[in-house]
């Protein structure tokens, strides 16, 4: 569906940040604003799939061309 456009370092950062935000959500860190940590799903999914729709829109790629 989408072309892979997320490199290794970018991918690793996305996965780590996504997991950290989701851990904060499940730990209940944010009180009544806790639901905001669910945004961690976005970087986690884009890191796991190696594709970012926003990068596609702007023509950015952080991985080497195949």
Q: Which three-class secondary structure state does DSSP give residue 53? A: helix
Domain membership of residue 64 (yes or no) is no
Would you say residue 2 lies in a domain?
Answer: no
Q: Does the pLDDT value for residue 1 go beyond 70? A: no
pLDDT at 66 > cutoff 80: no
Judged against a pLDDT cut of 70, whether residue 16 lies above it is answered with yes
Q: What is the CA radius of gyration of the chain?
A: 13
Under 8 Å between Cβ of 50 and 11: yes
Mean pLDDT (whole number) for 19-30: 94
The total of structural domains in the chain comes to 1
Residue 59 corresponds to which tokens in the numbers above? 């023509």
Three-state secondary structure call for residue 54 = helix
- Report yes or no on whether pTM surpasses 0.85: yes
The answer to whether residue 22 sits within a structural domain is yes
Tell me what the mean pLDDT of segment 17-23 comes to: 97
């Amino acid at each position: 569906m989408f072309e892979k456009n997320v490199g290794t370092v970018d991918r690793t950062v996305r996965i780590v940040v996504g997991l950290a935000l989701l851990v904060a959500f499940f730990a209940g860190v944010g009180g009544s604003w806790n639901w905001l940590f669910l945004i961690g799903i976005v970087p986690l999914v884009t890191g796991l799939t190696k594709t970012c729709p926003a990068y596609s829109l702007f023509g950015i790629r952080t991985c080497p061309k195949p």
